[in-house]
Structure formats: C-alpha cells, structure tokens
Amino acid sequence: MSLLEAIVLGLVQGLTEFLPISSTAHLRIAPELFGWRDPGAAYSAVIQLGTVAAVLIYFRKDIVALLAAFFRGLARREPFGTLEARLAWFVLVGTLPIGICGLTLKKLIENEFRSLYVISGSLIVLAVILFIVEKRASHQRTLADMRWKDGILIGLWQALALIPGASRSGTTLTGGLSLGLKREDAARYSFLLSIPATTLAGIFELKHLLEAESRPSAVALWVGTLVAFVSGMAAIAWLLRFLRTRTTLVFVVYRVALGLLLLVLLQTGKLSPLSGTENVAVPGEPGTPPVEKQITD
C-alpha cells in the first residue's frame, strides 16, 4: 500500500465513519474506482481505531462522567441510580449483539459480504428505512428518557452494520429515531455506542493483520489511522451541528444515488463485485486442495 492510498483511505474512513453513509462501503468502493487492491476488512477495522480516538477525545467529558457513575453505582450497590450510570449500562448491553454476531459471521463479513452487490443493496434498503423512520418519528425524547428496552433495541440495530453498506452510524441513528429520540441525541448516543464495538474490532483485527504474510506496512497503518482521527473529529463536530436544525434526508438521497450508481457500474462491467483472491482447483490427484489465485480486475 502506497502512502497516497493510506492517506485517501484514512480520509474516507474518518469522513464517513460517523455519517450515516457507511465507511465500510466507501473503503470498499474507493480502491475499485482508483484501481487499487481492496485493503480488506482487517485494514478497515484497524484504521477505525483513529475514529475511536476521535470519539474519545471529542466526548471525553461525557465518557469520564459515564465511567465514574458506572463504578460509583457499583460501589454503592445502586448500579442504575443515575442517568449517567444507566447510559453506561445501555452502551454495554447494546454492544453485545454486534459482538456476538461479529464473531459468528466473521468469515462472511470478510468475504461474501464485501460484494459490491451486497453493498449497493444495503445502501438503498437502509436509506428507505431511514426515510420512513425520519418521517414517522416523534423526535421528542432525549437520552434522559431512555430505558433498557431502548438500549437493547438500538444495540440490535447496530448489529445490522455488520453488513457493508448498512453503516453503523446509520443503523444506530435509525434505531434511535425509531424510538422517538431527537436527532442530535440519537447521534450522540450512536457515537458513545460506537466506542466498545469499534475498539474491540480494531484490536482483534490488528492482531490478525500483523500475523498475516501479506499486509500493509506499519507506516501505512499509522498514516491511515492518523488521517482517520483528524477527519473523524471534523465529521463529528459537523454532524452534531447539522442535525440540530436539519433532517437526515440528504443522507437518504446520497445513499440511494450511490447504490444505484454502483448497480449501473456493476452491470456495465466498470466495476467487479469482488476483488482480491478466489479459490481455484489445481489439476492433479483427487483431493488436491485448491490454491489461491489473484484476480486482476
């Protein structure tokens, strides 16, 4: 991976991680458009650590308050006594679905799910769902009104983000809006909920990426992560400011347009559904295992 690729992919990751348009989809699409190799799900997960750092710094006061309330509640044997303590528990419980599904579907996520047909379909389908929810939601509730059911349901929505193109930010934002949360509150909770899932995914994949025979250089990893951090900070500030006065309609239109464009490019042969390697059989004795063959798009 060249330094230019690392910078571009880091920028794409940071700008799209927190907007409801799917960072995974854009990290899959960008290399296809530029004729680069797909960096893979592992690289995408690792540079997400840059956007995790952006959330930690941007919401440092909220995070300190939640952690302090969580441990204070345990010490006093009143784990759900305050709003901050309850939110901390909601984030914990809401992380379980994506963690369980992520481990169960790991192979599909790293291979079949990265098909551009899957990505285009999820971009469009989730855009339609977001549009319906946006129109029917009350937009009246705040984080103070959240209950256990809300935390669990938004966690289930987050698990849908394992499908590339769905968008973790998009699914959790949709889940929050469907429960009547105000747009800014739904986005704020989405950011907090992202911390455990993206941190654990990044650390888990970093180990496997470092053990792989073919992997990006340490410089490419550091540059991509740093650029993702800087652009992620900018994206968080912009989105919170944007949602105070505007709806999510612009993201709905963008998702549908991008999904349709992908389908057109796929049908005309401008893009291939999958890139990387595929298993092909080697002529020889019966039972000879297949070998990996590099596909050139």
Q: What distance lies between CA 278 and its chain's CA centroid?
A: 25
Predicted confidence at residue 264, as pLDDT, reads 92
Residue 218 burial class via C-beta count within 10 angstroms: exposed 0-12, middle 13-18, buried 19 and up: exposed
pLDDT attached to residue 275? 63
Q: Give the pLDDT score at 213.
A: 63
Average pLDDT of 146-172?
92
The reported pLDDT for the residue numbered 212 is 64
For residue 181, give the 3-state DSSP assignment. strand
Give SS3 for 81: coil
With bands split at pLDDT 50, 70 and 90, how would you rate the model's confidence at 208? low
Orientation of helix 249-267 relative to helix 116-136, angle to 10°: 160
pLDDT for res 243: 92
Average pLDDT over residues 53-59: 92
* 82 dihedral zone (left: phi>0; alpha: psi -120 to 50; beta): beta
Phi, psi of 294 (to 5 degrees): -75, 130
Give residue-wise pLDDT tens across range 4-14. Answer: 999 999 999 99
Say if residue 279's pLDDT is above 60: no
- Percentage of the chain lying above the pLDDT 90 cut: 54
> Is residue 44 very low, low, confident or very high in pLDDT (cuts 50, 70, 90)?
confident
Over the stretch 214-264, which tens digit does the pLDDT of each residue have?
667 788 889 999 999 999 999 999 999 999 999 999 999 999 999 999 999
- Backbone torsion region of residue 11, taken as left when φ is above 0, otherwise alpha when ψ lies between -120 and 50, otherwise beta: alpha
Q: Residue ranges per domain, the chain?
A: 3-294
When the pLDDT of each residue in the chain is averaged and rounded to a whole number, the result is 85
pLDDT at 1: 76
- What's the confidence (pLDDT) of residue 289? 41
pLDDT in tens, 122-133: 999 999 999 999
Of the ranges 146-160, 260-274, 279-293, which one carries the lowest mean pLDDT score? 279-293
